[in-house]
Amino acid sequence: MAQRFYITTAIAYPNGRPHMGHAYEVITTDVIARYRRLRGDEVRFLTGTDEHGLKIAQAARAEGVDPRAYVDRMVEPFRAMDAQLGISFDRFIRTTDADHKALCQALWQRMAANGDLYLDRYEGWYSVRDEAYYDESELIDGTDSAGKAVRLSPQGTPVEWTIEESWFFRLSAYGDRLLALYDGDPDFIQPASRRNEMRAFVAQGLRDLSMSRTSFDWGVPVPGSPGHVMYVWVDALANYLTGAGGRADELCGEWWPADLHVVGKDVVRFHTIYWPAFLMSAGVALPKRVFGHGHVLNRGEKMSKSVGNVVDPMAMAEVFGVDRLRWFLCRDVAFGEDGSYSDEAIVERCNADLANGIGNLAQRALAMVAKGHGGAMPAAGAGGEGEAALAEALARGTADYLAAMDALAIHRGLEAVMGMVSAANGYFAASAPWTMKQDLAAQGSVLAHALDASRRIALLVQPVMPASAAALLDQLGVAAGARSLADLDARVPAGTPLPPPQGVFPRWAPLA
RNA sequence: GGCAGCGUAGCUCAGUUGGUGAGAGCGCCGGAUUCAUAACCCGGAGGUCGGCAGUUCAAAUCUGCCCGCUGCUACCA
């Protein structure tokens, strides 16, 4: 029976254009989703946008448009990016979707019914200009026009001690249960370094959480409490329930609980402390795992407008091709850690792995088949030591790949695949089929073994490079219905006509 | 400041509970080869395993100190 797998990305905050960080998250999550499908799992993949909150309201107002109109426009580049990058989501959720609003309010009422929400006052240093509270430690000292010493926000705007009515969530009551969760299931938070941080955070004691705002209205209204909108994270996190098919009358949709939330390391806290606490309060099952990925840096530097290194992932995909970008990000960046990218690194990596490795392996065998074997898959003989060694390397590589992918070590999985490529190219060179012109059967056998290695490799890289892998499998004569993990040992029958070879992974010429 | 972690070949990193000769990939150099996308294959280049001092028959792997770096340290997300 097919296993069900519900996977999500964090939802993006569309107060700007999508950047490489967004692309990285949806790509890696897509790879995992496709991998599960390849394994035969029944997958639900959710992604989308987080459209409420102060910053959106401010940005909309700055443009003099309605917030709804603003987000309707801002969401489009995110959709376009997903389409361009081949993101195979099942639903693109927007927190402004009608079904989501209803679910949020139901979730709220469940938490309230459990006695975890209470009305109190939130006090703090508030900047009217920024419409935001700041912690004492964030304030800087300055002087006003009269030369008097005053306290300023990090943006240099004046702040004043303000008291606002707010709903609070009894987060403080959940510390022990959260610690028990982390300790009872070490995989709940990954990587381990993040788990340690979150554990330390909880262990130091939790304060109750301000759950509503009255200073602006762009959010989900708190039921029965006019003037209050929900703290944006309540609304944002709840998207995973809505996306699972949850409704106001039944919070748990058919896909809940999530098997995996893939999120950036910067939002791990919200997903591993607030979110489980909310769910515990509402009496809803917890997600099984939260994975905090690292950030990808442009040449090792954080992207910033002042440095002038903000990269548009769509332009990048345009230049290099979607699959090259996907391959690079998955192969060159250790999943869970920060990584770095540059044009040079992408070209280098893709030329080495794709053009010289995977592509060349297929091409050298296919060319000989086209030339000397009438363009039909030759018969594979029983083979000798060389074939046995190759088979063993392929089996080991496949096992390593599966283990790594199951453990979310995507980069390790691809490393294992490259080991298979290396073994196959080694086998080809050692067998030297081009010297067997006098014995076409022997030559054909070597080619068949090499092509089968290519087939196995192409099968495994499908999650990362869907389009290229499909093109390669076409070249290899693999039937459309024989491309899942279950077909790993299904060799292409001898005699199968193979189309004229065409390089799937052309070498990238030196940058101009 | 507190807590956690890291610092191994030019680059990115592997190195279980301390023990035969310190590794991989990329890049680089040399060789071989010519089926292939000047790719593939083979070999090499030798890095005080951040520094110092210890524990031990034996430490990259344990302890202490020092230097450097990173992350977390809550209500913008």
**pLDDT tens sequence across A132-148:** 777 766 667 666 667 77
Using the structure, give the distance in angstroms from the CA atom of A380 to the C1' atom of B13, rounded to a whole number.
Answer: 39
Q: What is the pLDDT of residue A475?
A: 95
Using the structure, give the distance in angstroms from the CA atom of A50 to the C1' atom of B77, rounded to a whole number.
Answer: 10
Q: Give strand B nucleotides closer than 7 A to any protein Cβ.
A: 2-5, 12-14, 25-27, 34-42, 71-77
Using the structure, give the distance in angstroms from the CA atom of A234 to the C1' atom of B75, rounded to a whole number.
Answer: 12
Using the structure, give the distance in angstroms from the CA atom of A268 to the C1' atom of B68, rounded to a whole number.
Answer: 28
Report DSSP state, residue A84.
H
Nucleotide nearest to A54 (CA to C1'): B76
Shared domain check, A122 and A87: no
**ipTM of the modeled complex:** 0.91
Per CA to C1' distance, which residue is closest to B77? Answer: A13
Q: What is the CATH number of the domain that holds A399?
A: 1.10.730.10
User: Which of A32, A2, A49, A6 has its CA nearest to residue A254?
Assistant: A6
Shared domain check, A106 and A19: yes
Asked whether the predicted pLDDT for residue A153 surpasses 80, the reply is no
Nucleotide nearest to A15 (CA to C1'): B77
Using the structure, give the distance in angstroms from the CA atom of A132 to the C1' atom of B77, rounded to a whole number.
Answer: 12
Q: How many distinct structural domains can be found in chain A?
A: 3
Asked whether the predicted pLDDT for residue A512 surpasses 50, the reply is no
Query: What Rg value do the Cα atoms of chain A yield, rounded?
Result: 27
Q: What is the CATH number of the domain that holds A83?
A: 3.40.50.620
| Model confidence band, residue A110 (pLDDT cutoffs 50, 70, 90) | very high
Using the structure, give the distance in angstroms from the CA atom of A172 to the C1' atom of B72, rounded to a whole number.
Answer: 19
User: Left if phi > 0, otherwise alpha if psi is -120 to 50, otherwise beta: which for A310?
Assistant: beta
User: Which of A443, A339, A460 has its CA nearest to residue A398?
Assistant: A460
Please check whether residue A22 lies inside any domain of the structure. yes
If one compares A106 and A304, the residue with the highest pLDDT of the two is: A106
Nucleotide nearest to A503 (CA to C1'): B37
Shared domain check, A462 and A388: yes
Please check whether residue A223 lies inside any domain of the structure. no
Strands of A342-442, DSSP E: none
Q: What is the pLDDT of residue A117?
A: 96
Shared domain check, A407 and A281: no
Identify residue A391 by its one-letter amino acid code. Answer: A
Cis peptide before A223 (omega within 30 of 0): no
Q: Rounded to whole angstroms, how far apart are CA atoms A291 and A8? A: 10
Query: What is the rounded average pLDDT of the residues A384-398?
Result: 92
Q: How many residues does chain A have?
A: 512
pLDDT tens-digit series, residues A35-68: 999 999 999 999 999 999 988 998 999 999 999 9
Please check whether residue A334 lies inside any domain of the structure. no
Using the structure, give the distance in angstroms from the CA atom of A299 to the C1' atom of B56, rounded to a whole number.
Answer: 45
Q: What is the CATH number of the domain that holds A162?
A: 2.170.220.10
Asked whether the predicted pLDDT for residue A150 surpasses 80, the reply is no
Per CA to C1' distance, which residue is closest to B36? Answer: A364
Shared domain check, A84 and A122: no
Please check whether residue A220 lies inside any domain of the structure. no
Question: What tokens does A27 get?
Answer: 């790509």
Positive/negative CA dihedral, A468, A402, A449, A389: positive
Reduced to 3 states (helix: H, G, I; strand: E, B; else coil), residue A140 is strand
Nucleotide nearest to A421 (CA to C1'): B40
Lowest model confidence (mean pLDDT) among A104-108, A320-324, A343-347, A361-365: A343-347
Shared domain check, A448 and A347: yes
Asked whether the predicted pLDDT for residue A5 surpasses 80, the reply is yes
Residues 6+ apart with CB under 8 A from A77: A14, A17, A18, A314
Q: What is the pLDDT of residue A137?
A: 66
Shared domain check, A287 and A272: yes
Domain housing A362:
343-487
User: Which of A50, A71, A49, A47 has its CA nearest to residue A59?
Assistant: A71
Using the structure, give the distance in angstroms from the CA atom of A337 to the C1' atom of B7, rounded to a whole number.
Answer: 16
Q: Which of A272, A293, A314 is the last residue of a domain?
A: A293
Shared domain check, A465 and A413: yes
CB A459 within 8 A of CB A488: yes
Strand pairing report for A296-298 and A339-341? parallel
Per CA to C1' distance, which residue is closest to B70? Answer: A338
Shared domain check, A462 and A371: yes
Rounded to 5, what percent of chain A is helix, strand, coil?
A: 50, 15, 35
Angle at A392 between CA A390 and CA A396, to 5 degrees: 120
Strand pairing report for A229-230 and A212-213? antiparallel
Asked whether the predicted pLDDT for residue A511 surpasses 60, the reply is no
Q: What is the pLDDT of residue A328?
A: 93
Shared domain check, A255 and A136: no
| Model confidence band, residue A23 (pLDDT cutoffs 50, 70, 90) | very high
Strands of A72-116, DSSP E: 91-94
User: Which of A395, A322, A374, A288 has its CA nearest to residue A83?
Assistant: A322
Q: Which of A209, A243, A272 is the last residue of a domain?
A: A209
Nucleotide nearest to A231 (CA to C1'): B75
pLDDT tens-digit series, residues A430-487: 999 999 988 999 999 999 999 999 999 999 999 999 999 999 999 999 999 999 999 9
Nucleotide nearest to A362 (CA to C1'): B36
Identify residue A199 by its one-letter amino acid code. Answer: R
Please check whether residue A145 lies inside any domain of the structure. yes
Using the structure, give the distance in angstroms from the CA atom of A423 to the C1' atom of B23, rounded to a whole number.
Answer: 19
Nucleotide nearest to A219 (CA to C1'): B77
Please check whether residue A322 lies inside any domain of the structure. no
Please check whether residue A23 lies inside any domain of the structure. yes
Shared domain check, A126 and A85: no
Shared domain check, A140 and A87: no
Q: Rounded to whole angstroms, how far apart are CA atoms A456 and A386? A: 17
- What's chain A's average pLDDT? 90
Per CA to C1' distance, which residue is closest to B39? Answer: A356
Please check whether residue A302 lies inside any domain of the structure. no
Asked whether the predicted pLDDT for residue A508 surpasses 60, the reply is yes
Residues 6+ apart with CB under 8 A from A103: A238, A241, A242, A246, A247, A248, A251
Asked whether the predicted pLDDT for residue A231 surpasses 60, the reply is yes
